[in-house]
Structure 1
Amino acid sequence: MIRNPILPGFNPDPSIVRVGEDYYVATSTFEWFPGVQIHHSRDLENWRLVARPLDRASQLDLRGDPDGCGVWAPCLSHDGQRFHLVYTDVKRYGRTTTAGASGASLRDFHNYLVTAETIDGPWSDPVHLNSSGFDPSLFHDADGRKWLVNMLWDHRPGRNRFGGIVLQEYDPRARRLIGERRLIFKGTPLGLTEAPHLYRRGDHYYLLTAEGGTGWNHAVTMARARSIEGPYELHPDVHILSARDRPDAPLQRAGHADLVETPAGETWMVYLCGRPLSNRGRCVMGRETAIQKMCWGADGWLRTEAGDGLPVVEAERGPSIDQREDFDAPGLAIDFQWLRTPEPEAIFSLSARPGHLRLYGRESIGSLFTQALVARRQQAFCYSAACAMDFDPAHYQQAAGLVCYYNAAKFHYLHVSHDEALGRHIRVMSALPDAPQADAFTAPVAIPPGRIELRCEVDYERLRFAFRAEGQACWTWIPEIFDASILSDEASAPGLPNFTGAFVGLACQDMAGTARPADFDWFAYRERDYAAGPTGLDWPAALSRLGAGPMLRA
């Protein structure tokens, strides 16, 4: 049995391709660098992160991209000789304010293509394709011609912003689009038509799109035509997968899909989904990737195996992750990412102090340009994370610590700083999207000089922090219980882009511009059962003193 989601945590907008016996799924990374996640599998069940192809400044520079923008909806394909990856870099989303719309219709979407002979690269510098909309997809036809489809953005007043799906031929020798673009599909009354993918089966071209928005109304729509340019007729059921009418379904927000065929001729669909907290309705792990088998009917149309168009979960729990990083390798483990900058040497080093991750204090937490924040995805409802840090701030503009982060408006940050009255101290800063006061701080607690260990425990919507100084056997708990559910797409004012997911990791700021560093000896992340409780996991003394040994349940 295949357990859904196959890619837990923030892994949205999946695109799947098979090359021989190997399957690859590419997912969006938005403002996180390097760009695009690619997972590999041989059996469609067990997946491993193997590549992030957009890893240098000539391919991608996200500095200045707003939260929720950056790399959207990559499409990964193979033409028999090389991999092709098309993607959008969103530079402006527009925004809605309390005073009303302010340029909300004006958006900048730039679509690019990179190629590689192998999945681990090297990947080429990008070719700019167009900027007419987002969610580009490249289709390789049997006659050797290549076609780009993307949704068309219409900013004019009184118009449907989602203007339909456009088609244009791509010339790989000239490395540009040729001919005129054609509007081939206007969508259905559900609206918000996006995420197009083209396929050929028998005498028909099949067009798969997402509709209804990426929230609770999300759906997968299918149409077909005998010519690639149309006209396209709708599927008899219109939407072939959705949970929009089933609030009891364990997987919600199902949509933005792609198809792959196995060597045995079976058809499988990957799609994004969300798992809401039962008592809050918020998807704290963002949009995840699921998969299920589909069936072609005698009428030549695709449907779910049960014929009900619903996403399925064979088993709700997969293997848990128990990760520890001692920062002894020359590069970061692939699970880690940072925000926006293609110049990682400006924000961290693994060689300045061997065996440590050194973060250089940069701009304020939440900066859209250069902030030193290195983190990994939250991939379970209940987890524990901890780190050991050396940091000696000189004043209140310098801070470093352990952060649970969604974006600039949504985070909880356990950090060490300094002020003239209390000296070195620790406290939690929270950015709250749904409270009258956007920034909240706990009372500062004085701490002695030297190494300090920081810890967080997340149980569904509950988050707690603790710390202990070097040589202390017991943890000191911050008394407040924090709302972890704000680290979700749903916890936000309407009209703002919220498409990512929760991360946990390490951060350092120096708003005086002197780059005061913080050194992290180790970082640990462990998923666990809810039964352990927020205080049920203890860290052996050896872990703090030596940076060695496993995390054990008390």
Structure 2
Amino acid sequence: MPLVRNPILPGFNADPSIVRVGNNYYIATSTFEWYPGVQIHHSRDLANWELVTRPLTRKSQLDMRGEPDSCGVWAPCLTHDGDRFWLVYTDVKRKDGSFKDTHNYIVSAPSIEGPWSDPVYVNSSGFDPSLFHDDDGKKWFINMLQDHRRRPRAFAGIVLQEFDSSAGKLVGPKKNIFLGTDLDLVEGPHLYKRNGWYYLLTAEGGTAYHHACTLARSRDIWGPYDVHPENPILSSKDAPFAALQRAGHGDIVETPEGRTYLVHLASRPTTQERRCVLGRETAIQEAIWRDDWLFVKKGPVPSLHVDVPGVRDDSRYWAEHRYTFENGLHKDFQWLRTPETERIFATQDGKLTLFGRETIGSWFEQALVARRQTHFSYDAETVVDFSPTDERQFAGLTAYYCRYNFFYLTVTAHSDGQRELLIITSEASWPDGKINMPLADPVQIPNEGKVKLALTIRGRQLQFFYGLDGEGLKKIGPVYDASILSDECGGHQAHGSFTGAFVGMACSDINGTALPASFDYFIYRPAQHVTDRYDV
């Protein structure tokens, strides 16, 4: 069989849940505060994957306004019961401090493209829910259990209860079936049945460098569950120089030929600070069954190259993406939190118009449309038409992780109305998330005319450029440290920042007049760079 190089879903694709329906494989991944909710990719060979849908597209399914960074949609679980697709997800309203507010929902659809139903509320007792369809027709709902009285951890185990899909609610007794192991922080549960055994796969060790996959089994769905004799079955915690780090939170699938694979999240840190700019990505490992236990081939450390049925077309990975807006917003783009898209953007006359709303760090309503950074090095470019009247109106090109960390080349104006270019960044003040003062010196530009904005990232070096009508690109500002656009610098140094770097277009008008900015196109061009030794 051919080898595929991990990750199979590069760039911010965390918490993978995989299901096979016939010859089709689908992976659902977390989207956190980015809208629409849940990414679902499709493949026929486990090597080549295509984004096919984001099912949580309307206010009745998801409204994340006001939710902090790295909250929102956590750990979706995608399953199929022979008739319908079922998607379980958590909408996290708060995650820091003594409490977490985590609401769990279920939607379903006759096909992966939909239509996806309005959500059924299930519970709020914990996060990372999943749905298991037993061979007797019963459906079982499991999630990690929170207990805010437990110190220093609130992870109290995995709870099981039957779900009545006709009534749309949990029924019957519930039980804490698994307290986890010494790895701690048990979460991300998935149930399976094979040869009369119930298998419980969980994530443990937190989401940083001690992350792991734990497997346990029982003859009875209610337990007790015995832990795998060589636990954990997957982890990089004892292999600090492995290419794939932070490996854990997995799910299992079998091919029609009976081969078994484990998909899991992993990260590829760069720089001496071990920063994960591309966030948590989806990787795959082949596994084998022995004595009714699952073992990862060459595990537990994840392999960079894995045998899969297909051969990947790497030319797609390195292709330039030139986005125009004649047919609406391309599926690669997302925005932050709000289901009311008409308030933040429109596509008309072949252009993308952003309506200036709140600042780039807002948790409520900001006009920011961006795509994932999926390469360690790349170029980005756009052309903006924007006529600000003062310093409270600004629009342009941003490399963005969260409100704590971003770089933003803006077209704005001085208080006297003279238009200028200004770079706004929170880089130097991490982890406080404050704008770096003083700002880089502004560059005056004519009050009329479009402006070309561009950036290059080569490893950890970011450089902005600008160009006026009829002129070539010129450098603006210093070289910035792009490595802070990473989980490790997202406001939490471990276990708390969950997304990945984006690049895109933004517009703010904190005068409250919703001044629009018009963008002609957007280019994302991957670049191969000598420092990117783990790029796929």
Fold similarity call, TM over 0.5: yes
Corresponding position: 1:50 with 2:52: yes
Secondary structure, counterpart of 2:233 in structure 1 = strand
Secondary structure, counterpart of 1:490 in structure 2 = helix
Determine if contact 1:69/1:497 at 8 Å carries over to the other structure.
Answer: no
Partner of 1:98: none
Corresponding position: 1:105 with 2:101: no
Partner of 1:347: 344
- Deviation sequence 1:247-278 (CA, Å, 0-9, x none): 11000000000000100011100000000004
Q: 1:493 to 1:14 in 2, by over 3 A?
A: closer
**C-alpha distance in 2, partners of 1:278/1:342?**
37
Q: What does 1:490-529 correspond to in 2, within 5 Å?
A: 490-491=488-489, 492-494=491-493, 497-529=496-528
Q: CA deviation at 1:434?
A: 2.7
Determine if contact 1:340/1:370 at 8 Å carries over to the other structure.
Answer: yes
Q: How high is the TM-score relative to the length of structure 1?
A: 0.91
Corresponding position: 1:314 with 2:285: no
**C-alpha distance in 2, partners of 1:284/1:159?**
28
The correspondence for 2:484, drawn from 477, 483, 486, is: 486
Partner of 1:270: 263
**C-alpha distance in 1, partners of 2:531/2:387?**
34
**C-alpha distance in 2, partners of 1:296/1:495?**
34
Q: Which amino acid aligns with 2:155?
A: F
Corresponding position: 1:442 with 2:458: no
Q: CA deviation at 1:179?
A: 1.1
Q: Which amino acid aligns with 2:324?
A: D
Q: What does 1:104-143 correspond to in 2, within 5 Å?
A: 104-143=97-136
Secondary structure, counterpart of 2:483 in structure 1 = helix
Q: CA deviation at 1:348?
A: 0.4
Q: 1:78 to 1:531 in 2, by over 3 A?
A: same
The correspondence for 1:202, drawn from 195, 200, 206, is: 195
Q: Which amino acid aligns with 1:348?
A: F
The correspondence for 1:385, drawn from 366, 380, 383, is: 380
- Deviation sequence 1:192-216 (CA, Å, 0-9, x none): 0000000000020000000000110
**C-alpha distance in 1, partners of 2:44/2:435?**
46
Q: Which amino acid aligns with 1:201?
A: R
**C-alpha distance in 2, partners of 1:129/1:394?**
49
Aligned residues: 518
Q: What does 1:466-481 correspond to in 2, within 5 Å?
A: 466-472=465-471, 474-481=472-479
Q: CA deviation at 1:531?
A: 5.6
The correspondence for 2:75, drawn from 51, 73, 76, is: 73
Q: How high is the TM-score relative to the length of structure 2?
A: 0.94
Determine if contact 1:67/1:497 at 8 Å carries over to the other structure.
Answer: no
Partner of 1:465: 464
Secondary structure, counterpart of 1:236 in structure 2 = coil
- Deviation sequence 1:33-75 (CA, Å, 0-9, x none): 0000000000000000000000000100010111110000000
Q: What does 1:285-296 correspond to in 2, within 5 Å?
A: 285-296=278-289
Partner of 1:186: 179
Determine if contact 1:62/1:341 at 8 Å carries over to the other structure.
Answer: yes
**C-alpha distance in 2, partners of 1:526/1:7?**
18
Q: CA deviation at 1:320?
A: 1.3
**C-alpha distance in 1, partners of 2:151/2:305?**
44
Q: 1:532 to 1:91 in 2, by over 3 A?
A: closer
Q: CA deviation at 1:479?
A: 3.7
**C-alpha distance in 2, partners of 1:494/1:277?**
15
Determine if contact 2:52/2:113 at 8 Å carries over to the other structure.
Answer: yes
Segment drifting more, 67-76 vs 316-325 = 316-325
**C-alpha distance in 2, partners of 1:336/1:349?**
13
Instruction: Quote the RMSD (CA, aligned, Å).
Output: 1.7
Partner of 2:359: 364
Corresponding position: 1:33 with 2:35: yes
Partner of 1:394: 389
**% of aligned pairs identical?**
55
Secondary structure, counterpart of 2:342 in structure 1 = helix
Q: CA deviation at 1:437?
A: 8.2
Secondary structure, counterpart of 1:132 in structure 2 = coil
Partner of 1:541: none
Partner of 1:2: 4
Structure 1: stretches of 5+ with no match in the other structure: 95-103, 534-554
Determine if contact 1:383/1:526 at 8 Å carries over to the other structure.
Answer: yes
**C-alpha distance in 2, partners of 1:139/1:44?**
23
